[in-house]
Chain A
Amino acid sequence: MRQRLETLFDALLPVIATLAALAVGAVMLLFLKVNPLEAYAALLKGAFGSFNSFAETLVKATPLLLVALGICISFRGDVINIGGEGQMIVGAILATWIGLTFTDAPGWLIITLALLAGFLGGAVWGGIPGALKAYFNVNEILSTVMMNAIAVQLMNFLLRGPMIDPSQAEVASKIPQTARLLDAFQLERLAPTRLHMGALIAVVLAVLVYILLWRTTLGYRIRAVGQNPHASRYAGIKVPRYVVTALLLSGAFAGLAGAIQVYGVNYRMITDGSASGFTGSAGFNGIVAALFGQLHPLWSIPASVLFGALLVGANSMQRMVQVPSALITVLNGLVVIFVVSSEIWRRRRQRRRLVVGEEEAPPKPDKSQVQTGEAQK
């Protein structure tokens, strides 16, 4: 009974964490002399109030979902990918280059190639820290973050130099952006809104990732290695290979998210010097969406929509109740911190439960298992 309660608690933890974050946000709103209820009502209305605003929510949710799918894979393989931002950027750069270089080809071909290029670019950017972890034991949290910094500078360099919009190159302002993609190369819109094909692609991929993780030998191995590298090794699985694969696939989905942002929303790359200027922090928020979805690709769909709503709703909250835009970032950050910390806390609790169970009977560690086994029945 107690165990079932704990399972339920674990499942609801992200929701509890989000509410806690909103509560802290409410305190901040009070300090700004804004009625929190009013503010949160504005948020809800902004996100779901009209067909158009809901479409906008889905537009924001699309890159979150794509990144989240990759996170589902890597976290299941016990590799932490904090490099979604960089992977999105590199994927976007490659995809943009395809679209700007081969202007004579048919649209469907270019879009296919561009999305593939985005996928590959992200895969490389994720695969490098993956290989460093698997073969040199480099901490992937650090290396993926560092790869983000490299990607940003690469983007800034390319958009100011080699890839700059030719029309901008001639004028004095020299806005660091690429030329605009041809209309034929843009992802189809799904309704008279900004909603595009990318959202559909993301949902289809969510199903495919589910199949990958639970219906293929590759997914089986990634999960096995993530849960217990020792037993995996003993069973003959080449553990390092699947550490690389997990991070590589994770990067690939982020790269695809970057490519789809260019081909579905912006139609060009433009930089304000930071990573979030291009990604809208989807590389980070995707992690939260995935954790919120219990690292399950299908549950990541509603989780991404929720966070997309938070982003869109926050903007409208800013307009309607006049809170500074910085507070929106803070609110978003609070949710991230609360959800991520709750996940780490959950894991630690789980490990402690495990360790306690093992240490109760040092001479014969299996005895504790007998007990939990009986408790189950």
Chain B
Amino acid sequence: MTESNKLPSGQTRIDSLEMLNITKRFPGVLASDHVNFDVKSGEVHALLGENGAGKSTLMKILYGLYHPDEGEILLNDKPVSIASPNDSIGLGIGMIHQHFMLVPTLTVAENVALGLPSTRGFMTDLDQVSKRILELAKIYSLKIDPDAYIWQLSVGQQQRVEIIKALYRGAALLILDEPTAVLTPQEVDELFVIMRQMVKDGHGLIFISHKLHEVVEISNRVTVLRDGRKIGTRPTSEVTKQDLANWMVGREVGFIPDRGVVDRGEARLELNNISCSSDRGTPGLRGVTLEVCSGEILGIAGVSGNGQRELAEVIAGLRKAASGQVVLEGQDVTGLPPAARADRMLSYIPEERMRDGVIREFTVAENMVLREHEKRPYSRAGFLNLGKISRHADELIKRFHVKTPSRDTLAKNLSGGNIQKVVLAREISRAPRVVIAAQPTRGLDIGATEYVREQLLEQRRNGVAIMLISEDLDEILALSDRIAVLYEGRVMDIVPREHATPEKLGLLMAGVHLEESVSVVK
């Protein structure tokens, strides 16, 4: 029976791997709450969950990047300790990261050999590495040229290099962290062919994704995580997309603030068929058409990375639209720079407030005038009016309840919630006509979250047109008048608040059209 213990690559099979009672705390967050998870040889086990559900934390623990506070890991029923990626690689666990760890200017063989001792001491053994790569490529039917440079390869091919790299290092069990996020549909199909081959040969695969159709297509079993807790593990054949969507997002809608009745006014922000690329050069938005009206909050729901960032940046003028128009109060502003759009009273609360919202080494007062410093009364003929700037800061600190020792405190010394209040104060106090709020409450405590939401509703009552981009469905449901769901850069649908349910939105967020879902329910 020793033969059957071996994988085609020569590596010993991992018959089973179990993670028991894994608990990991970060300051203020329980990222993984007594989670059990297991993989067997010859299966694809999908790990499904929203952002922040604890998928990555769990896998980073398995790969040795984090250490669990509680729990143990059993490999072939024996406890093992994994203190670093070196340990996990030694045990036959490999990980394909979402962002590839390859050196573009080196060849495939050089990348595979990188970090490994050469069999020839100080001399390289690239010819042997190449031979072995071709061997592995043949066994797993991966087409790859060991002498090609990484920069010459497509994203799908680079991913294959990562897989080869893991196999070369003796991986019997592979963790694939959102491997399809960067791939085209054709490349996804090719990847699935490779994955099926590996499973047939006895590898165990962990497939992390939040795309339901992919999970249903490729996995044997599926585990759903939510808020760091395991919701359940089922054989994929026994669940529907609807079930999975429910598990993934199905929490009770929380406290709903008093929204008041506001009449929807004229359209203030219109997007006509906007397309643009993402930072990676892949399509970020594909023909988005939306409008936001006075006195309305338009919620943008979606799993992160489906075009939310691009949407906000295109509107703010920070990202070029490849086609389509951005119209602010009837005026086409597509070609205008960010400052000109801001002058038309467009305000923007950016997603990454530490990076894009404030200057950490500037004082609170200086940050409060980041947008308006060149305007009167804050400056005159190029000279700053420090008195006015200070008074303005004091006023806003009071009005927005910013907790800071003084206006001259550096922004970096404020808490996250108070930094967000500084950004909010700056963007809202200028009496905007349109506000783009991207993940405005992410990472804030309950008090600050309530405050930010209340401020957005207040703006809505004042007739401001607000676009609220959030991954928090509760927030979207609580605040929005209409909800647009983004999926792979497209608007899946726009649902009026009255007709929106978490289940419905969950399906849309996972790329399932509502007509389709009806047939699933049947």
B359-378 contacts to A, CB under 8 A, are 359-362, 366, 370-371, 373-374
Is A6 in the interface zone, CB < 8 Å from B? no
Contact B374 A376 (CB under 8 A): no
Is B85 in the interface zone, CB < 8 Å from A? no
Contact B383 A217 (CB under 8 A): yes
For A369, list chain B residues within 8 Å (CB): 354, 412, 414-416, 419
Contact B366 A232 (CB under 8 A): no
Is A191 in the interface zone, CB < 8 Å from B? no
Q: Name the residue on B nearest A237 (C-beta).
A: B339
For A366, list chain B residues within 8 Å (CB): 354, 415-417, 419, 443-444
Contact A235 B383 (CB under 8 A): no
Is B27 in the interface zone, CB < 8 Å from A? yes
Contact A215 B384 (CB under 8 A): yes
A331-377 contacts to B, CB under 8 A, are 358, 360-374, 376-377
Contact B318 A233 (CB under 8 A): yes
Is A208 in the interface zone, CB < 8 Å from B? no
Q: Residue A220 contacts which of B342, B348, B355, B373 (CB distance < 8 angstroms)?
A: B373
Q: Residue A231 contacts which of B355, B373, B382, B383 (CB distance < 8 angstroms)?
A: B355
B457-510 contacts to A, CB under 8 A, are none
Q: Name the residue on A nearest B367 (C-beta).
A: A231
Given A228-B359, A231-B355, do A373 and B371 touch, yes or no (CB 8 Å)? no
For B416, list chain A residues within 8 Å (CB): 364-367, 369-370
Is B121 in the interface zone, CB < 8 Å from A? no
Q: Output the least CB separation between B30 and chain A (Å).
A: 10
Contact A231 B318 (CB under 8 A): no
B322-343 contacts to A, CB under 8 A, are 337-339, 342
Q: Name the residue on B nearest A364 (C-beta).
A: B443
Contact A367 B382 (CB under 8 A): no
Is B137 in the interface zone, CB < 8 Å from A? no
Contact B379 A217 (CB under 8 A): yes
Is B26 in the interface zone, CB < 8 Å from A? yes
A223 vs B443: C-alpha distance in the bound complex, in angstroms? Answer: 28
Contact A238 B350 (CB under 8 A): no
Is A234 in the interface zone, CB < 8 Å from B? yes
Given A238-B337, A363-B52, do A224 and B27 touch, yes or no (CB 8 Å)? no
Is B518 in the interface zone, CB < 8 Å from A? no
Q: Output the least CB separation between A335 and chain B (Å).
A: 27
Given A366-B354, A369-B419, do A235 and B371 touch, yes or no (CB 8 Å)? yes
For A372, list chain B residues within 8 Å (CB): 412-413
For B405, list chain A residues within 8 Å (CB): 376-377
A94 vs B206: C-alpha distance in the bound complex, in angstroms? Answer: 69
Q: Name the residue on B nearest A358 (C-beta).
A: B354
Q: Output the least CB separation between A63 and chain B (Å).
A: 28
Is A319 in the interface zone, CB < 8 Å from B? no
Q: Residue A236 contacts which of B337, B366, B382, B443 (CB distance < 8 angstroms)?
A: B337
Q: Residue A373 contacts which of B318, B348, B386, B413 (CB distance < 8 angstroms)?
A: B413
Q: Residue B384 contacts which of A216, A224, A227, A358 (CB distance < 8 angstroms)?
A: A216
Q: Name the residue on B nearest A228 (C-beta).
A: B359
Contact B316 A361 (CB under 8 A): no
A361 vs B405: C-alpha distance in the bound complex, in angstroms? Answer: 25
Given A218-B382, A236-B338, A364-B29, do A231 and B413 touch, yes or no (CB 8 Å)? no
For A237, list chain B residues within 8 Å (CB): 339
Q: Output the least CB separation between A75 and chain B (Å).
A: 13
Q: Residue B348 contacts which of A215, A234, A358 (CB distance < 8 angstroms)?
A: A234
Is A189 in the interface zone, CB < 8 Å from B? no
Q: Output the least CB separation between A239 and chain B (Å).
A: 11
Q: Name the residue on B nearest A357 (C-beta).
A: B412
Q: Residue B29 contacts which of A215, A224, A361, A377 (CB distance < 8 angstroms)?
A: A361
For B350, list chain A residues within 8 Å (CB): 234
A138 vs B49: C-alpha distance in the bound complex, in angstroms? Answer: 43
For B384, list chain A residues within 8 Å (CB): 214-217, 220
Q: Output the least CB separation between A79 and chain B (Å).
A: 16
A205 vs B318: C-alpha distance in the bound complex, in angstroms? Answer: 37
Question: Which bracket fits the contact residues of A?
Answer: 35 or more
For B414, list chain A residues within 8 Å (CB): 369, 373
Given A228-B360, A363-B52, do A233 and B26 touch, yes or no (CB 8 Å)? no
Q: Output the least CB separation between A11 and chain B (Å).
A: 16
Q: Output the least CB separation between B388 and chain A (Å).
A: 13
Is B115 in the interface zone, CB < 8 Å from A? no
A26 vs B357: C-alpha distance in the bound complex, in angstroms? Answer: 50
Is B288 in the interface zone, CB < 8 Å from A? no
For A358, list chain B residues within 8 Å (CB): 354
B416-430 contacts to A, CB under 8 A, are 416-419
A196-225 contacts to B, CB under 8 A, are 214-218, 220-221, 223-224
Q: Output the least CB separation between A362 and chain B (Å).
A: 7
Q: Output the least CB separation between B184 and chain A (Å).
A: 29
A227 vs B316: C-alpha distance in the bound complex, in angstroms? Answer: 21
Interface centre among A227, A238, A377 (most CB of B within 10 A): A227
Q: Output the least CB separation between A224 and chain B (Å).
A: 6
Is B356 in the interface zone, CB < 8 Å from A? yes
Contact B382 A368 (CB under 8 A): no
Is B301 in the interface zone, CB < 8 Å from A? no
The interface bits of chain A over 218-260 (1 if a CB of B lies within 8 angstroms of the residue's CB, else 0) are: 1011011001101111111110000000000000000000000
Contact A220 B366 (CB under 8 A): yes
For A376, list chain B residues within 8 Å (CB): 405, 409, 413
A144 vs B56: C-alpha distance in the bound complex, in angstroms? Answer: 44
Q: Residue B383 contacts which of A215, A234, A367 (CB distance < 8 angstroms)?
A: A215
Given A217-B382, A235-B370, do A364 and B28 touch, yes or no (CB 8 Å)? yes
Is B111 in the interface zone, CB < 8 Å from A? no
For B26, list chain A residues within 8 Å (CB): 360-364, 367
B373-415 contacts to A, CB under 8 A, are 373-374, 379, 382-384, 386, 405, 409, 412-415
Q: Residue A234 contacts which of B28, B316, B418 (CB distance < 8 angstroms)?
A: B316
Contact A230 B356 (CB under 8 A): yes
A218 vs B442: C-alpha distance in the bound complex, in angstroms? Answer: 34
Q: Name the residue on B nearest A236 (C-beta).
A: B339
For B159, list chain A residues within 8 Å (CB): none
Q: Output the least CB separation between A10 and chain B (Å).
A: 13
Is B142 in the interface zone, CB < 8 Å from A? no
Interface centre among A218, A221, A373 (most CB of B within 10 A): A373
Is B308 in the interface zone, CB < 8 Å from A? no
Contact A373 B356 (CB under 8 A): no
Contact B359 A236 (CB under 8 A): no
Q: Residue B357 contacts which of A214, A224, A234 (CB distance < 8 angstroms)?
A: A234
Q: Name the residue on B nearest A224 (C-beta).
A: B359
Q: Name the residue on B nearest A214 (C-beta).
A: B384
Q: Residue B361 contacts which of A214, A227, A377 (CB distance < 8 angstroms)?
A: A227
For A224, list chain B residues within 8 Å (CB): 359, 362, 370
Interface centre among B356, B359, B412, B443 (most CB of A within 10 A): B359
A220 vs B318: C-alpha distance in the bound complex, in angstroms? Answer: 21
For A215, list chain B residues within 8 Å (CB): 383-384, 386
Contact B342 A231 (CB under 8 A): no
Is B47 in the interface zone, CB < 8 Å from A? no
Q: Name the residue on A nearest B444 (C-beta).
A: A366
Q: Name the residue on A nearest B420 (C-beta).
A: A366
Interface centre among B52, B354, B412, B417 (most CB of A within 10 A): B354
Q: Output the least CB separation between B101 and chain A (Å).
A: 18
Q: Output the least CB separation between B503 and chain A (Å).
A: 25
List 7 A-B pairs, minimum CB-CB distance, nearest first.
Answer: A366-B416, A236-B339, A366-B443, A373-B415, A370-B415, A364-B443, A235-B370
List 22 contacting pairs A-B, 8 Å CB cutoff, sorted by A: A215-B383, A217-B379, A218-B382, A221-B373, A228-B360, A232-B370, A233-B338, A234-B338, A234-B348, A235-B371, A236-B337, A360-B27, A361-B28, A363-B29, A363-B52, A364-B416, A366-B354, A367-B26, A370-B415, A370-B445, A373-B415, A376-B413
Interface residues of B (CB under 8 A from A): 26-29, 31, 52, 57, 316, 318, 337-339, 342, 348, 350, 352, 354-362, 366, 370-371, 373-374, 379, 382-384, 386, 405, 409, 412-419, 442-445
- With A368-B27, A373-B413 known, 5 other A-B pairs at CB within 8 A are A220-B384, A236-B338, A369-B414, A370-B28, A370-B445
